[in-house]
Amino acid sequence: MKIEKVTFISPELPYWNLVTHAVFPEYGVPVVATLTRDAGYDVKAYVEHIGPIDWDDVMKSDVVCFHAFSSTMPKTIDYIKKIKDVKPEMPIVIGGTHASVMWEDTLQYCDLVVRKEGDETLPEVLDTWKNDGNLSKVLGISYWDHGKVRSTPDRPFTQDFEVIPDLELISGYLNWPRWKLLFKLKMRWQLLQTSRGCPYDCSFCIAPRELGRAYRLRSIDNIIADIKYQQKLVGSKYFFIVDNHFTVNRQRSKDLLNRIIEEKIQWYGICFTRMEVARDEELLALLKKAQINTLYMGLESFDNNVLKLLNKAQTQEGLRKSLATIKSHGLRVLGSFVMGSDEDTVQSLRATIQSAIEIDIDYVALFPLSGYPELNSPNIKINRFFLPSWDRLDGTFVMFLPKNMKPSTLQREINNAYKKFYGPKQVMRRLIKGDIWCGLKRIAYNYWAWEIRRSTKTWIKYLESVEGKYYDENDKLIEDMLPEEGIHPAQFPGSSLAAGLERTAITMGGD
């Protein structure tokens, strides 16, 4: 097969969400695009919220690769149809978390799915196609083979990820001058990865499943070179460290932070971490000195029953103590909360947001419990999904039937919690304390929260129109009323049990 030109497409998210006002590509897209370029292919990437897709250019491709979130699957399917209508023989590849988990379902729309990390897998797929080789020897893929679906064993997780993503492969990436950012109410963020994997086992989190529990490290020299490259390219000082848990290896974190300090890097960093970081005050001091000023922490709840159910290995008392220690070092906390578990009630949700206010957490991000409609779903039973289309599975919309409240109630409680936390009273509290920066950011977040409330308004009406028969007079879920497989768009739920694909027979392990 002739393969010279490879195009990557990442469709735009359909609704207002946490990152609506941020300009950055999904991290994996430029990484895999760069590795594909380095393998000798002519590469162009389109990240739709950064720049428009040039369809004339796409049609000149030899292979088109899509990065798809669940919420962008409808648009991805439309785009694939657009390509296939013109070039029906064009090979289409889909990767990303959705494709990895729901691979049987995703294969209805493409020729090949890259599961989990694509760093090594996609270049090997392209070389195999190019040389008319045998795909059954490529680990980590699912694909069509003469009317049958074949799925090879998972590829071991990548150990060497020293590549510095070439952001100029992304069409329009440099076409965001400051006036345009201001006019469109956008903010440019640079992404940085220093490690992969997370050793924890939170019941709701997809990260260990996709990136493994082993903690893999990128070299400090390569990280520093990446930071300097990005700052020189666009001049932005705002960096989001996308590691699942930046401070797992404390000594290594200290070595990296000391190097950042030695290099006199001027930036504003945010990183993901957990409450355990508070046990090491030397590390906290280095985070502050290295200008990683905000810690994005998965707090999830201030209810011990909820924390136990989510397998967070933390307690309300421990959280309060840790947060006090962290804030004593002048660090800000962006607390992430998962709402609607089987231990949650309306009262526990309200108590959690009140605790966040009392503890004086700087910012919050609120998510309804989520997951994928799998036959063996680890988080939400498949018959409790309430998801008529993929586009609502984006971390904003309630898409399942909670145990102790109606889904419309949960959606309203999340909206009201945002309104309370970012409302005028809490903004004024910060301004009166002299924390002008946080006060101004809360004003901006209040606008962002208003967008989310507006975006979910129609959804709440839909939920109210269909949820009633599943709940008793006390708003408790009547599980006997649930349909066998819930309401969801997956024709083939993500499980190896789904062996009855139309026009196919699944063969595990290649030939």
| Structure confidence at residue 136 (pLDDT) | 97
Instruction: Among 344, 369, 394, give the residue marking a domain's end.
Output: 369
What per-residue string of b and e applies to 339-357 under the rule 16 or more CB within 10 Å gives b?
Answer: bbbebbbeebbeebbebbb
Residue 502 binned pLDDT confidence (cut-offs 50, 70, 90) = very low
DSSP alpha helices (H): ranges in 329-406? 346-359
SS3 476: coil
Answer whether residue 179 is part of any domain: no
**Do 203 and 350 sit in the same domain of this protein?**
yes
**DSSP assigned state of 11:** P
pLDDT for 18: 85
- 432 in the same domain as 309: no
Asked whether residue 411 falls in the same domain as residue 331, the answer is no
Average pLDDT over residues 358-382: 93
Give the pLDDT of residue 14: 95
The CATH number of the domain holding residue 153 is 3.40.50.2300
Q: Would you state the pLDDT for residue 208?
A: 87
Mean pLDDT of 447-463: 95
pLDDT of 326: 98
| pLDDT at residue 493, as a whole number | 84
DSSP 15-84: S--TTTTEE---THHHHHHHHHHHTT-EEEEEETTTS---HHHHTT-SEEEEE--GGGHHHHHHHHHHHH
Asked if residue 137 and residue 19 are part of one domain, the reply reads yes
Tokens of 389: 């289309």
Chain position carrying tokens 């008392």: 317
167: in domain: no
Lowest mean pLDDT among 181-190, 200-209, 216-225: 200-209
Domain ends where: 310, 339, 369? 369
Last residue of a domain, one of 369, 387, 417: 369
Return d(Cα 479, Cα 470) in angstroms, integer: 7
Q: How confident is the model at residue 485 (pLDDT cuts 50, 70, 90)?
A: confident
* pLDDT bracket for residue 378 (50, 70, 90): confident
Q: Could you tell me if residue 205 is inside a domain?
A: yes
φ and ψ at 47, to 5 degrees?
A: -105, 105
Torsion of CA 44, 47, 53, 54, to 10 degrees: -20
What pLDDT does residue 377 have? 83
Residues 134 and 211 in one domain: no
- Average pLDDT of the residues in 94-102: 95
SS (H, E, C) 72-96: HHHHHHHHHHHHHHHCCCCCEEEEC
Q: What is the pLDDT of residue 495?
A: 53
Q: Which pTM does this prediction carry?
A: 0.95
Query: Does residue 450 fall inside a structural domain?
Result: yes
* Residue 499 domain flag: no
User: Do 313 and 452 have their domain in common?
Assistant: no
Q: Compute the distance between CA of residue 313 and CA of residue 310 in angstroms, rounded to an integer.
A: 9
Rounded Cα gap, residues 83 and 88, in angstroms: 7
User: In a 3-state reduction of DSSP, which class is residue 103?
Assistant: helix
Same domain, 263 and 350: yes
Specify whether 479 is located in the same domain as 384: yes
Section 294-311 average pLDDT? 97
Task: Tell me how many domains the chain contains.
Answer: 3
Residue span of the structural domain in which 338 resides: 189-369
Higher pLDDT, 458 or 499: 458
**Same domain membership, residue 249 and residue 201:** yes
Percent of the chain with pLDDT over 90: 92
Indicate if 436 and 462 belong to the same structural domain: yes
Tokens of 415: 């909206």
Residue 432 covered by a domain: yes
**What phi and psi, each to the nearest 5 degrees, are found at residue 461?**
-65, -40
Tell the residue number behind the tokens 């910012």, with chain if given: 363
Q: Does the pLDDT value for residue 511 go beyond 60?
A: no
Question: How far apart, in Å, are the Cα atoms of 103 and each of 57, 98, 142, 222?
Answer: 28, 8, 7, 33
Same domain for 284 and 245, yes or no, is yes
Residue 178: inside a domain: no
- Given a cut of 90, whether residue 494 has pLDDT beyond it is no
Among the listed ranges 2-6, 201-205, 291-295, which one has the minimum average pLDDT value?
201-205
Residues in Cβ contact with 108 at an 8 Å cutoff, skipping those fewer than 6 apart? 491, 492, 501
Measure the CA–CA gap between 61 and 55, rounded to whole angstroms.
Answer: 10
Q: What are the φ/ψ torsions at residue 294 (nearest 5 degrees)?
A: -125, 130
Question: The dihedral of CA 189, 201, 329, 421: what is its sign?
Answer: positive
pLDDT digits (tens, 9 = 90+) for 145-204: 999 999 999 999 999 999 999 999 999 999 999 999 999 999 999 999 999 999 999 999
Which CATH number characterizes residue 229's domain? 3.20.20.70
pLDDT digit string, tens, across residues 265-275: 999 999 999 99
Report the alpha-carbon angle 136-137-138, nearest 5: 95
Q: What does the mean pLDDT of the chain come to?
A: 94
User: Do 335 and 200 fall into the same domain?
Assistant: yes
With a cut of 90, say whether residue 427 has pLDDT above it.
yes
Mean pLDDT of 31-59: 98
Residue 481 is assigned to a structural domain of this protein? yes
